[in-house]
Amino acid sequence: MGGRDRIPLPGQPVTATISQHNNNRFGAVLSAVYGFWISRGSGNQGGRRDAYSVILFESSAQVQFANDLNSTPDQLLNSIVRERIRGGTNFNGALLAAQTTMETHWSTERSPVVIFLSDGECGVSDNVIHDICNRAVARGKPLSFHSVSFGNTASSASLRRMVTIAEQVAASAPPNPLNPLVPCGYTDVMDTIRLAETFLNIADSLKRPRAALLRA
């Protein structure tokens, strides 16, 4: 994520702030996530309804914040914009951290959502992705799982595999008439603009359920 071949999206109110600290791929991700937060918060009477958690991972995973219901997009961004990229990739560790966060802060009022983004290559255990998806079903709502590859398409097999398993688990879950469709998907993006569009598309797909959003 430290590569400078892709940089923050121009024209946002926070572009200068992001570029000052992370004028790189990670900064481009922050731009896309910021746009996502703005999109999800707009038009809601009495404030937003989503609960946000952000997990950053390299060789290990770190929960930056969890179950945030009150912070503005600018406050959320300011809490992570100064993070530095060191290197390493651990998909299993990130998924385990996401599962713990999801279960710790589970709410019957919101639907669980994971947006899993990486620009690196790493193996993943089927058991780990099965576990997080099955735990969501056991608690009453299938997991809406989205993976995004922001790197080499040839290194995206694990990200695709995560979505395949999530879709299978969601399809086999007991039907819920209030949420008949659980959106899941894989997206391969190569530039900052497409990345921002991808996050806005995910935001649009989640308009119906109240979401408990975790970004790993």
- Classify strands 144-149 and 111-118 as parallel, antiparallel or unpaired: parallel
The reply to whether 188 falls in a domain is yes
Residue 208 above 80 pLDDT?
Answer: no
The reply to whether 139 falls in a domain is yes
Average pLDDT score over residue span 200-206: 90
The reply to whether 147 falls in a domain is yes
The model's pLDDT over 145-163, given as tens digits with 9 standing for 90+, comes to: 999 999 777 668 999 999 9
The reply to whether 170 falls in a domain is yes
The reply to whether 28 falls in a domain is no
- Classify strands 111-118 and 61-68 as parallel, antiparallel or unpaired: unpaired
Nearest to 33 by CA among 205, 213, 179, 168: 213
Nearest to 143 by CA among 67, 206, 191: 206
Say which residues have a Cβ less than 8 Å from residue 150's Cβ, sequence separation at least 6: 6, 25, 28, 29, 117, 118, 119, 189, 195
**Can you give the pTM of this predicted structure?**
0.91
The reply to whether 44 falls in a domain is no
Q: Which domain holds residue 64?
A: 50-69+90-215
Total count of domains within the chain: 1
* 6: exposed, middle or buried (Cβ count in 10 Å: 0-12, 13-18, 19+): buried
The reply to whether 38 falls in a domain is no
pLDDT for 206: 82
Which CATH number covers residue 149? Answer: 3.40.50.410
Q: Is the dihedral of CA 44, 47, 50, 55 positive or negative?
A: positive
Residue 42 above 70 pLDDT?
Answer: no
Name the average pLDDT for the chain.
89
The reply to whether 22 falls in a domain is no
How sure is the predictor about 212, in pLDDT bands with cuts at 50, 70 and 90?
low
